[in-house]
A = this chain, B = another copy of it.
Amino acid sequence: MGTTKTEHFTEKQNELALLAKALGHPARIAILDYLSTVDTCICGDIVKELPLAQPTVSQHLKELKNAGLIKGTIEGNSICYCIDETALQHLNTYIAHISEGISKRKTCC
């Protein structure tokens, strides 16, 4: 065990879970926070900003990239990372969908 039984759930449920999972670490939230406040977005700046070693930050960046939450473009020697809003909008749409669903039911608890 320790393995999520993804095969039993819908593709959408799995996708949303992966997206949320990528947001489920304070370092990754901190990275998004930082990226949303700066004009330039060089990887090295993120490493300096976070209280974690460079390989650890690199790993978190990879996970955010895998989830589609950020994208990176090579800029000479270094890499420019920035937020891809599309993925975030998916989450927002989902939450809105759930809220709408609830508003159509009787409140039970």
A positions within 8 Å CB-CB of B: 4-6, 8-10, 13-14, 16-18, 20-30, 32-33, 35-41, 50-52, 71-73, 80-83, 85, 88-89, 91-92, 95-99, 101-102, 105-109
Contact = CB atoms under 8 A, between A and B. Distances in A.
Given A20-B23, A23-B20, A33 B5 contact: no
11 contacts: A8-B26, A9-B26, A9-B30, A17-B26, A20-B20, A21-B21, A21-B23, A36-B101, A39-B106, A88-B98, A89-B95
B80 A102 contact: no
Nearest to A52: B5
Contact of A39 (B27, B81, B99, B108): B108
Copies per complex?
A: 2
B92 A36 contact: no
B51 A27 contact: no
